[in-house]
């Protein structure tokens, strides 16, 4: 597809939403570095965080070419209200159960989204997605194994998991917030189907897992059109952390 024929507005929104999702969950996961419940999990969460920040950098790179902006500026120089990550990622690090619940919901949704982008008509994104899918399989495996462990353990582990799922339930599906002008993406063959259809696919994927583990399925998100807006206090705190170095010396390079 030629650059002139691209639905640039919609494509920019798609790239920004995906990059911000990966960036924010990567930084959230890095909050466990040094303090995870097991040494292996300390390494695992740090490795997952490194993956996600790398994915974000690649996506900001594509966005930067599209809108002629510096990828670092896209990542670090916006105000908190200008980020377009989904509200599922807006709940603060929380405890281990919260981290696993969030990761499971996000990874399973991200997988459905990536599948809908693989083989798309805009090659720079389709090529990158092909590679991301290979790496994200490891993330899904990790979150899935822990979800099952916490759910089956009973006692405090299960109780905390249920609390986490309850806190996240109204934002669980916000990965699938409809994008502005997304019909243009579907029309151009960049995205295989609308977000609402992807959400149905996601529910069909996680439904059997939740049923098997006797966990409550998240309800439909009210006002899903605002699912990537209205970031709260937890994100403002995280934003303060991840922009601290950048803001301490504007324009510095090393």
CA distance 135 to 55: 10
Q: Taken in order 117, 122, 125, 127, is the CA torsion positive or negative? A: positive
C-alpha 38/C-alpha 15 separation (Å) is 34
Which range touches other proteins (CB under 8 A), out of 6-14, 120-128, 222-230, 238-246? 120-128
Task: Verify binding: residue 253, other proteins, rule CB under 8 A.
Answer: no
Q: Which is nearer to other proteins, 132 or 168 (CB)?
A: 132
- Secondary structure (H, E, C), 55-87: HHHHHHHHHHHHHCCCHHHHHHCCCHHHCCCCH
CB of 146 to other proteins, least distance (A): 12
Binding mask 121-140 for other proteins (x = CB under 8 A): --x---xx-xxx-xx-xx-x
Binding to other proteins (CB under 8 A) within 32-61 occurs at 40, 43-44, 46-48, 50-55, 57-58
Instruction: Check: CB of residue 179 under 8 Å from CB of residue 195.
Output: yes
- Residue (141 or 220) nearer to other proteins, CB: 141
Q: How far is the CB of 135 from other proteins (least distance, A)?
A: 6
Is position 98 an interface residue for other proteins (rule: CB under 8 A)?
Answer: no
Do residues 239 and 85 lie in contact, with contact meaning Cβ atoms separated by under 8 Å?
no
Residues 42 and 32: beta-carbon distance below 8 Å: yes
Contact status, residue 190 vs residue 120, Cβ threshold 8 Å: yes
Min. distance of Cβ 40 from other proteins in angstroms?
Answer: 4
**Binding residue for other proteins (CB under 8 A) from 73, 141, 159, 211?**
141
Contacts with other proteins by CB under 8 A lie at 40, 43-44, 46-48, 50-55, 57-58, 123, 127-128, 130-132, 134-135, 137-138, 140-142, 145
């Amino acid at each position: 597809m030629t650059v002139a024929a691209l639905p640039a507005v919609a494509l920019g929104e798609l790239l920004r939403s995906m990059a911000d999702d990966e960036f924010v969950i990567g930084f959230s996961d890095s909050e466990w570095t040094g303090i995870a419940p097991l040494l292996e999990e300390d390494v695992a969460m740090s490795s997952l965080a490194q993956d996600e920040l790398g994915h974000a950098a690649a996506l900001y790179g594509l966005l930067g070419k599209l809108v002629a902006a510096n990828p670092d500026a896209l990542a670090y120089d916006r105000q908190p209200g200008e980020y377009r990550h989904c509200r599922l990622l807006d709940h603060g690090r929380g405890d281990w159960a919260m981290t696993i619940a969030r990761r499971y919901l996000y990874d399973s949704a991200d997988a459905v989204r990536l599948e809908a982008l693989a083989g798309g008509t805009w090659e720079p994104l389709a090529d990158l997605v092909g590679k991301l899918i290979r790496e994200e399989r490891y993330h899904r495996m990790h979150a899935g194994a822990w979800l099952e462990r916490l759910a089956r353990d009973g006692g405090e582990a299960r109780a905390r998991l249920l609390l986490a799922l309850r806190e996240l339930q109204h934002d669980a599906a916000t990965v699938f917030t409809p994008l502005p002008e997304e019909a243009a993406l579907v029309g151009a063959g960049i995205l295989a189907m609308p977000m609402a259809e992807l959400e149905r696919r996601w529910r069909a994927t996680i439904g059997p897992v939740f049923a098997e583990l006797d966990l409550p399925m998240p309800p439909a998100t009210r006002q899903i059109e605002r699912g990537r807006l209205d970031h709260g206090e937890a994100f403002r705190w995280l934003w303060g952390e991840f922009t601290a170095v950048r803001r301490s010396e504007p324009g510095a390079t090393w």
